[in-house]
Chain A
Amino acid sequence: MSRVGTPLSPQRRRFLQDSARAAGGCVAAGSLLAWLARDARALPAEALRPPGALPEKDFLSACIRCGLCVRECPYDTLKLAELGVDAVATGTPYFTAREVPCEMCDDIPCVAACPTGALDPGLDNIDDAKMGVAVLVDQENCLNFLGLRCDVCYRVCPVIDEAITLETEHNARSGSHAIFIPTVHADHCTGCGVCEKSCVLPEAAIKVLPIRLARGSSADHYLKGWEEKEAKGAPVVEGIIDLPDRLPGPGTDNLVAPGGFEPSFKLPEVTQ
C-alpha cells in the first residue's frame, strides 16, 4: 500500500535474492553437516572410549581430537579413529579390548592429559572407571561352562574376586563335578578389557560391551521385598496371618503318600 508509486529498488531485490540463495545453500550444507554429526554418535560396540570419557553425546561436544591422551598412554592402547577406516567419529580416541586392553594406570595419564575435560578429571581412582562392562557372551564355547578349569578371564582381571568371581554349580553332564562359572559383577567391572584380550578361544567368549548394550536397568519404583523386610526388621505388610501350609503326607488325598486316603469323588472312567 505504502509502496504504491515507489518503484522497487533493484539493489533491494538483488540483496534479497542473494541472501535467500546464501541462506538456502547454508540450510542444505548445514543439514548435511548435522546428519554427519548425528551419524558420528553411532559408536561401534567394539570401540571403547578411554577412562573417564563423558557419555558419547557429551563427549563429541567436548573432544577436540588433539590426540594428547593417545600420546600419554604408556601401553599404546588408545588410538585416534582414522577417516573412512574406523567406524568411530574421525579423530576421536578409542581402543579395542581384543587388540590392546586398558592397563588401568593408577595415575590415569590419559585423563590428566585431556585439555578440555572430554575425559572427566573428576575420575581420580581408576577402579571407578566405566569404559564398558564385560559380559560372558558365549556360554556354549566358554571352557569353564563346559566344565573345564580355564579360569583365565578370572585370573587376569585387575579387580579379581570383585569384578569377576567364580560361582560353582553342579555339572549335570558328568554328574559328579562342579562348573566354575565366571561371573561379572557390573558394579566393580571397569571395562578395561583384559579378560576379553586374554580369553584363550579364537573368538573371545567374554567381551566388553558398552554399558548401553551390556546392562538392563531396574525401574525406579521397584522395591525388593526381602530388602525392605530386612531394613524394617518386620514384614512390610502388617497384620498378615501365616496359615499352615498343606503338605503331602498323612491326612491328604494323595494315595502315593503314606497314610493317604481315597478321594471323596470319583473321576469319570475312560471308555475304550
Chain B
Amino acid sequence: MTARTHMPLGQEAIAAKGWLGAHKYLLLRRASQLFFLVLFLLGPWFGIWIVQGTLAGSLTLGLLPLTDPFVFLQSLIAGHWPELTGAIGAAIVLVAYALIGGRVYCSWVCPINPVTDSAHWLHRKLGLQKGWQPKRGTRLWIMVTVLIVSGLTGAIAWELVNPITMLHRGLIFGMGFVWAMVAAIFLFDLLVSRHGWCGHVCPVGAFYGLIGSKAMLRVSAANRSACDDCMDCYAVCPENHVISPALKGKDTPLILSPDCTNCGRCIDICAEDVFKFTHRFDALTVAPPESTAAPQPRASRPF
C-alpha cells in the first residue's frame, strides 16, 4: 500500500484537474440520467409530448417505437408473440446497445443508478464493510431463473419486481409503494452488500452486459504506465474487477469485460489521466510498458 492510497479519494484528481475536471463524466452522466427522465416527464408534467410511455416501452414523436429487449424476451418465452411495433422497438434498442455498450444503459439511463450510487457514496463516507458479496455470476443465474419462471408461469416475471421500470413508471404514472422498494434497494446497497443490487443481483444489467459484450465504446487504460497505484479507480469503480486485466495486465489496455458500465468514473478520478474513452479496436498504449519507469509509485512504501 502506498501513502497515496490513504489520501482522501479523488484529492489528487481535484488538485490536478480541478473539481469540474475530476467530476466531468459523473456530471455528464447525471445530466444524461436527468435528460432521459425529463424526456419522459415533459408530457405528463408539462403537456409537451415528445416521448410517451416508460422505459419498458415508449413511442417518441409518435414515430419511433422502443421496447426493452429484456421485457420483450420474457414475453416471448412466456408464450406471446408481440406485434410488429413491439418487435421493431426491441430490435432498435438491442442493436443500439449492442453497438454502443450494453451497460451504458445502467450508468447513463437507468433511474435506479443514482439511488445505488448515492448508497455507495454514503457507504464510503461511513467507512462500512463491503458486506455480503455474492459471486460475479449470480446475476446471470438470476437472469436465467427469471427467464425460466417467465416460461413456467406464462407471465413477464421480472416486471413483477423490477425496480427500474417500477420507479420510472412511478414517477410518470403514480408511485404507490414504489418508494419503499427504492428505499429497500438503497438500504441493501448501503448496509447489506456494497454494489449489491447493480453489481450482483439485477438481471436487467446482466442482460444488457451480455448484449453489449462486443460493443464499440470502451474505456482503455491507455496510459497505464503512468499509473501510480493510488487505487482511487478501484475505489470508485462499481465493477472494480474489470480494471486489473487492463491496468495491470500485459495484454490489451482496453477494458473488455462486459461488466464495465462505461460510467467513466475511473477517467474522472485518475490524476495521471491513465484512462480514456475509446473504441474496442483501439489497442494502442501510449507509453512502452516496461522501458520507462512509472513515476516512483512505491517511493513512499512503508517498511
Contact = CB atoms under 8 A, between A and B. Distances in A.
A and B co-occur in one complex: yes
Interface of A: 18, 22-23, 25-26, 29-30, 33-34, 36-38, 40-41, 57-58, 60-68, 70-71, 79-80, 82-86, 89-91, 113-118, 121
B169 A91 contact: yes
Given A62-B75, A83-B181, A84-B177, 16 more contacts: A22-B141, A26-B145, A30-B148, A33-B158, A33-B160, A37-B149, A37-B155, A64-B156, A64-B159, A67-B54, A67-B172, A68-B52, A83-B176, A90-B160, A115-B67, A116-B83
A37 B141 contact: no
Contacts of B240: none
A36 B161 contact: yes
B173 A79 contact: yes
B5 interface: no
A115 B88 CA distance: 9
When A and B form their complex, which 10 residue pairs have the shortest distance between CB atoms, in order from nearest?
Answer: A82-B176, A66-B57, A84-B177, A61-B78, A37-B153, A117-B83, A116-B82, A83-B176, A115-B86, A62-B80
Contact of A71 (B53, B149, B150, B176): B53
Contacts of A85: 174, 176-177
Contacts of A66: 53-54, 56-58, 67
B264 to A, nearest CB: 30
Nearest to B146: A33
B143 to A, nearest CB: 10
B91 interface: no
A64 B68 contact: yes
Interface residues of B, number: 57
A117 B86 contact: yes
Nearest to A66: B57
B289 interface: no
A57 B152 CA distance: 12
Given A60-B154, A83-B176, A33 B54 contact: no
B178 interface: yes
Contact of B153 (A22, A34, A91, A116): A34
A77 to B, nearest CB: 14
Contacts of A115: 57, 59, 65, 67, 82-83, 85-86, 89
